[in-house]
């Protein structure tokens, strides 16, 4: 026969929710105009920012928070003259609000190899 645990059936033994830290969630409305980047970039400028992100995020001198460092944007503007006309804050905003391309999702995340391996297994007749 099934027996209930005494700690779960006894209300006094249950932990109180008021003793735990509360978590607040903030939902962002995607239709909000504040979410749109201030800059509308040309395809050439968009590709330049994507290249800058790949280069500087892996550079030991700048690291993961490269987009908050003025010297990183100075190096980016030196390497990509098409970005020189913009302020650092505007470029940072455009980078942070940039949507990924579908090809980047498959090549830069584990999703691509995962799908490829599963498709090969499915069409080769492999069974677990």
Q: Given this model, what pLDDT does residue 76 score?
A: 92
Distance of CA 128 to the CA centre of its chain: 33
For 35, 61, 62, 84, the CA distances from 48, given in Å and listed in that order, are 21, 20, 17, 11
Q: pTM above the 0.75 mark? A: no
Q: Given this model, what pLDDT does residue 13 score?
A: 54
Instruction: Check residue 125 and report its DSSP letter.
Output: T
> For 17-70, what is each residue's pLDDT tens digit?
555 555 655 554 555 456 666 778 888 999 999 999 988 888 888 878 888 889
For 52, 69, 76, 78, 101, the CA distances from 61, given in Å and listed in that order, are 14, 11, 13, 16, 27
């Amino acid at each position: 026969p099934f027996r209930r645990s005494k700690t779960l059936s006894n209300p006094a033994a249950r932990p109180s929710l008021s003793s735990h830290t509360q978590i607040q969630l903030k939902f962002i409305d995607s239709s909000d105009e504040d979410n749109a980047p201030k800059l509308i970039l040309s395809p050439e400028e968009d590709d330049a920012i994507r290249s800058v992100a790949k280069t500087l995020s892996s550079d030991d001198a700048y690291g993961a928070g490269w987009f908050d460092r003025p010297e990183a944007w100075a190096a980016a503007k030196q390497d990509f003259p098409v970005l020189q006309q913009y302020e650092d804050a505007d470029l940072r905003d455009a980078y942070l609000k940039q949507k990924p391309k579908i090809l980047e999702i498959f090549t830069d995340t584990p999703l691509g190899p995962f799908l490829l391996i599963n498709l090969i297994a499915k069409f080769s007749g492999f069974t677990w």
